[in-house]
Amino acid sequence: MKNRSLVAINDLSRDEIFRVLDLAEEFEKNPIQRIMEGKVVATLFFEPSTRTRLSFESAVNKLGGRVIGFSEASTSSVSKGETLKDTILTVANYSDLIVMRHPVEGSARYASEVSPVPIVNAGDGANQHPTQTLLDLYSIRKTQGKLDNLKIVMVGDLKYGRTVHSLLMAMSQFNASFTFISPAELRMPLEYKMYLDELGLNYEEHTDLAENIKDADIVYMTRVQRERFSDPMEYEKVKNAYILKNYMLEGTKPNMRVLHPLPRVNEINTDVDESPMAYYFTQALNGVYTRMAIMALILGLKK
Question: Where along the sequence are the contacts to ligand CP (CB under 6 A)?
Answer: 49-52, 123, 132, 261-263
Rounded to a whole number of angstroms, the minimum distance from the CB of residue 124 to ligand CP is 12
Cβ closest to ligand CP, residue 20 vs residue 196:
20
Contact between 98 and 118 under an 8 Å Cβ cutoff? The reply is yes
Cβ closest to ligand CP, residue 120 vs residue 196:
120
Measure the CA–CA gap between 58 and 7, rounded to whole angstroms.
Answer: 21
| Cβ neighbourhood burial of 194 (10 Å; 0-12, 13-18, 19+) | exposed
Helix (H, G, I), strand (E, B) or coil at 101: strand
Rounded to a whole number of angstroms, the minimum distance from the CB of residue 21 to ligand CP is 18
Rounded to a whole number of angstroms, the minimum distance from the CB of residue 78 to ligand CP is 19
Rounded to a whole number of angstroms, the minimum distance from the CB of residue 45 to ligand CP is 8
Cβ closest to ligand CP, residue 51 vs residue 193:
51
Active site residues: 51-52, 80, 101, 129
C-alpha separations of 173 from 105, 150, 287 in Å: 23, 11, 21
Residue type, 13: S
Helix (H, G, I), strand (E, B) or coil at 297: helix
**CB under 8 Å to 57, separation ≥6 — which residues?**
43, 67
CA 283 to chain centre: 11
Neighbours of 18 (CB within 10 A): 14
Cβ closest to ligand CP, residue 42 vs residue 196:
42
The length of the chain in residues reads 303
Rounded to a whole number of angstroms, the minimum distance from the CB of residue 28 to ligand CP is 19
Cβ closest to ligand CP, residue 7 vs residue 262:
262
